[in-house]
Structure 1
């Protein structure tokens, strides 16, 4: 496993202390469904995603919860000079202009590892979109891993891990279940949120 901000000896324990302090100074609370915390392999949803601040708070929460997530981002974020930094923050570059089989590659990564958390912003953008991208569903089904509802709620200054859902064979039923969970979670810019449909 590559070294990231979440698993670098000597540095990560110090960063966890800094994350706790920053969260306290910002007035944010991190909550965690205990059944989700015990899991070693899952797809972690990140919603609502309406601002770059989501990533900042996500990193602080992951450090506090001692998670070692990886996340997918557009390949432009990984260009010089920031590419190395983005990878150290757990990033995986995705070329959205090419027809590559991201789902199959991620499923294979789950099959190769005994412990893996892949964070996915299902909206696929910070702007308003037509619908959620369903790659997370196909990855979870293909790798036989659950989906954990990572969330942020700006009005309450609360973020963390909600419940873990095993994805059934009815995509629309699963989207409804996720829509119900995220119904009261509000992003920094609510008008930009795309609910699962």
Structure 2
């Protein structure tokens, strides 16, 4: 599969800039998420770099026969309508497993949003793992991989750093990357 994806990447003119870390555990956040093509391009990139990265996706995508494919490439369905302790469950998963790389879209949707989900940040902080930022830039046909980022505990400062990286990435359908707006902000 790696050779096929390398051929496809070369054929369509995409390249990978940066490297995934040689760590056993980390969260990969991919943004901006503006099109279904993001999944195709990023999945192909995953095979090109040869690193298994699991991912969470909305449960509506896991229907026959697509569910077999999604699970085979590392997908796990998530019912976003059900509130629960998803962060704690994922943190526990990181603690139980010797190796896990998990990809998430911090926007949680392809549509424009006014704020990003914070779950990836809390997972990384509580599990003591780094965040790896990955952006599919359609203007340059590059998958940009940022070096691992370790959270400091200052969520506002950390989010500003993360957002600044993603503001350099142009999605398939360019959209504004929102400033950090804390979930329980009174400001």
Q: Report the TM-score, using the length of structure 1 for normalisation.
A: 0.87
1:195: how far off? 3.4
RMSD (Å), alpha carbons: 1.2
The residue that corresponds to 2:121 in the other structure is 137
Give the 3-state SS of the residue equivalent to 1:58 in structure 2. Answer: helix
Q: 1:186 to 1:31 in 2, by over 3 A?
A: same
- 1:2-37 CA-to-partner distances (Å, cap 9, x unmatched) read xxxxxxxxxxxxx1000000000000011224xx42
Q: Determine if the alignment matches structure 1 residue 108 to structure 2 residue 92.
A: yes
The residue that corresponds to 2:55 in the other structure is 71
Q: Determine if the alignment matches structure 1 residue 17 to structure 2 residue 13.
A: no
Q: Determine if the alignment matches structure 1 residue 87 to structure 2 residue 100.
A: no
Determine the C-alpha separation between the residues in 1 that align with 2:133 and 2:178: 13
Q: 1:113 to 1:196 in 2, by over 3 A?
A: farther
Q: Is the 8 A contact 1:123 1:194 kept in 2?
A: no
1:194: how far off? 3.4
- 1:73-99 CA-to-partner distances (Å, cap 9, x unmatched) read 111111233212211121110011111
Q: 1:31-180 to 2 correspondence within 5 Å? A: 31-33=17-19, 36-180=20-164
Q: Determine if the alignment matches structure 1 residue 188 to structure 2 residue 172.
A: yes
Q: Is the 8 A contact 1:120 1:136 kept in 2?
A: yes
- 1:16-69 CA-to-partner distances (Å, cap 9, x unmatched) read 000000000000011224xx4212210000011100111111111111111101
Q: Is the 8 A contact 1:61 1:160 kept in 2?
A: no
Determine the C-alpha separation between the residues in 1 that align with 2:30 and 2:164: 15
1:196: how far off? 4.8
Q: Is the 8 A contact 1:178 1:196 kept in 2?
A: no
Stretches of structure 2 that go unaligned for 5 or more consecutive residues are 181-187
Determine the C-alpha separation between the residues in 2 that align with 1:118 and 1:148: 10
- 1:114-158 CA-to-partner distances (Å, cap 9, x unmatched) read 111000100100010111100000100111000001111110000
- 1:153-173 CA-to-partner distances (Å, cap 9, x unmatched) read 110000042121101111110
Determine the C-alpha separation between the residues in 1 that align with 2:103 and 2:144: 12
Q: Which runs of 4+ in 1 moved over 4 A?
A: none
The structure richer in helix per residue is 1
